[in-house]
Amino acid sequence: MGRRAFLKTGATAAAGLAAAGLGSSPALAAGGKPEVTGAKLGFIALTDAAPLIVAKELGLFAKYGMPDVVVAKQASWAGTRDNLVLGAAAGGIDGAHILSPMPYLLTLGTIGKATPMSILARLNVNGQGISVEKEYLGARADINSARMKPLIAQRKAAGRKITMAMTFPGGTHDLWIRYWLAAQGINPDVDVELITIPPAQMVANMKANTMEAFCVGEPWNDQLVAQKLGYTAVSTGQLWMNHPEKAFAMRSDWVAAHPNAAIALTAAVIEAQRWCDVPANNAKLAEIVGGRDWLKVPVTDIQDRLLGNFNMGDGRVFKNAPFKMKFWASNASFPYKSHDLWFLTEDQRWGKLPANLNTKAVIAKVNRADIWRKAAALAKVPAAQIPKSDSRGVERFFDGKVFDPANPAAYLASLKIKKV
């Protein structure tokens, strides 16, 4: 970024921070001075990486005493995993914008070398989508995946399953597309072929006819529609309103060695999330995130759906949709332990985690809501905006299923299609 652009962004940011009720540098006495001035964080080219990108671009990491934070693009979630296993000292990264189940899969060693992780914040709710190739526009797939059944059956009879892509096995996009299919009696492990494609490669692979449908975060669903290559069947907030999505997580050994720095990083992310959710900042947010240093996409691919304006590409249009991506509203930032329990339960459902896993113990190890609360205090979040409970309570899904975190076994028992 050139000096003039940097100064312009800084001036706009100052106005935006004021609008969000955010101010000058905090007194760090509450958490103590950060032990280090930097950390290396990874991100994937997705709109929901915005809090890390904004914290860097607007100087918020520096505001909290960490001017040397690096936010580095990762090629795929597998690359994020590998670099977290390495750690920054060995050429990898210390933490990342990450799919919410991945810190657990890393900690448990189910996707590679066991690497204890700590979730410090949730980054957003909503904002993902399931999209279908334009060839299948006639199916009119929407929240009801049963509309795909005739096509799935036709392909199976011809000896080739319909191919659907997600971004990482056991990650959120894998779970959303599985839930969507299974809710209407389609077995994702039997009736379709699920493959893994990095987020930024989804649209190109759809154009190359690699798959017929995919689940990914924005802006790639909107870009597919903009390029007239397909349509969005459903935005994931329609499946589960205000569902948790990405997390901000660090290696646990880094957090243990730098407890004050972990609080400072989280405070910067929280302040960025509050800025991101101020409507007046929307245009600047889309400009920053879409920039060449970050996602490298047209501003319009990001901005419309951030505002809640969804052109699904099949004639359906939603204005100011309640299922739009949120970074701060609806307690989006707080890492509810009940949400982590749902992710673990779903990964058990699909055989990604053992059925006898002590979920309570691993959540107590990975989820650091205590750090979030300290960071929120440092960021001067009003007490009324800090959740008192680590549980959001009973969750309800579009198909009528109910998840009570006090009884995950009952939820699992209610699901017809599963591997347990």
Q: Where are the beta strands (DSSP E) in 239-380?
A: 246-251, 310-311, 317-318
Predicted confidence (pLDDT) per residue in 341-375, tens digit: 999 999 999 999 999 999 999 999 999 999 999 99
Tokens 């017809």 -> residue: 416
As a whole number, mean pLDDT of residues 219-238 equals 99
Nearest to 129, CA basis, from 143, 140, 112: 143
Tokens linked to 100: 């919410």
Confidence of residue 31 (pLDDT cuts 50, 70, 90): low
SS3 content of the chain, % helix, strand, coil (to 5): 45, 15, 40
Amino acid letter for position 106: L
3 state SS of 231:
strand
3 state SS of 101:
coil
As a whole number, mean pLDDT of residues 308-330 equals 99
Element (H, E) at 234: strand 230-235
50 contacts 246 by C-beta, under 8 angstroms: no
Tokens 């600047």 -> residue: 284
Is beta strand 213-217 parallel, antiparallel or unpaired with respect to 162-166?
Answer: parallel
Predicted confidence (pLDDT) per residue in 9-30, tens digit: 444 554 555 555 565 555 454 5
Domain 128-241+396-414: which topology?
D-Maltodextrin-Binding Protein; domain 2 (3.40.190)
Rounded Cα–Cα distance for residues 262 and 410 (Å): 36
Rounded Cα–Cα distance for residues 336 and 369 (Å): 7
307 contacts 324 by C-beta, under 8 angstroms: yes
What are the residues whose beta carbons fall under 8 Å from the beta carbon of 320, sequence distance 6 or more? 307, 308, 309
247 contacts 335 by C-beta, under 8 angstroms: yes
As a whole number, mean pLDDT of residues 36-47 equals 99
pLDDT computed for residue 25 by the predictor: 54
pLDDT computed for residue 7 by the predictor: 42
As a whole number, mean pLDDT of residues 278-299 equals 98
156 contacts 191 by C-beta, under 8 angstroms: yes
**Residue 262 CB: number of other CB atoms within 10 A?**
27
Going across the sheet that includes 192-196, the strands are 192-196, 162-166, 213-217, 128-133, 230-235
pLDDT computed for residue 356 by the predictor: 98
Predicted confidence (pLDDT) per residue in 75-100, tens digit: 999 999 999 999 999 999 999 999 99
What percentage of the chain exceeds 70 in pLDDT?
93
The C-alpha angle 230, 234, 239, rounded to 5 degrees, equals 160
Rounded Cα–Cα distance for residues 306 and 288 (Å): 13
What average pLDDT does the chain have?
A: 95
Tokens linked to 135: 């060839």
Q: Which CATH number fits domain 3-126+243-296+327-392: 3.40.190.10, 3.30.565.10, 3.40.1350.10, 3.40.50.150?
A: 3.40.190.10
Question: How far is the first Cα of the chain from the last one, in angstroms, to the nearest whole number?
Answer: 51
3 state SS of 408:
helix
Does the pLDDT of residue 209 top 60, yes or no? yes
Nearest to 23, CA basis, from 214, 271, 224, 239: 271
Confidence of residue 108 (pLDDT cuts 50, 70, 90): very high
Question: What Rg do the C-alpha atoms of the chain give, in angstroms?
Answer: 21
As a whole number, mean pLDDT of residues 160-184 equals 98
As a whole number, mean pLDDT of residues 183-204 equals 98
Does the pLDDT of residue 103 top 60, yes or no? yes
3 state SS of 129:
strand
Rounded Cα–Cα distance for residues 106 and 81 (Å): 7
Does the pLDDT of residue 417 top 80, yes or no? yes
pLDDT computed for residue 21 by the predictor: 54
Nearest to 133, CA basis, from 203, 212, 242: 212
Does the pLDDT of residue 197 top 50, yes or no? yes
Rounded Cα–Cα distance for residues 104 and 96 (Å): 14
Confidence of residue 8 (pLDDT cuts 50, 70, 90): very low
As a whole number, mean pLDDT of residues 254-269 equals 99
| Rounded-to-10 torsion of CA 328, 333, 337, 338 | 20
326 contacts 122 by C-beta, under 8 angstroms: no
What residue ranges of the chain are covered by domains with CATH 3.40.190.10? 3-126+243-296+327-392, 128-241+396-414
Tokens 């410090």 -> residue: 120
132 contacts 139 by C-beta, under 8 angstroms: yes
Tokens linked to 248: 């901000």
Q: Is the dihedral of CA 161, 163, 166, 168 positive or negative?
A: positive
pLDDT computed for residue 29 by the predictor: 42
Rounded Cα–Cα distance for residues 182 and 415 (Å): 9
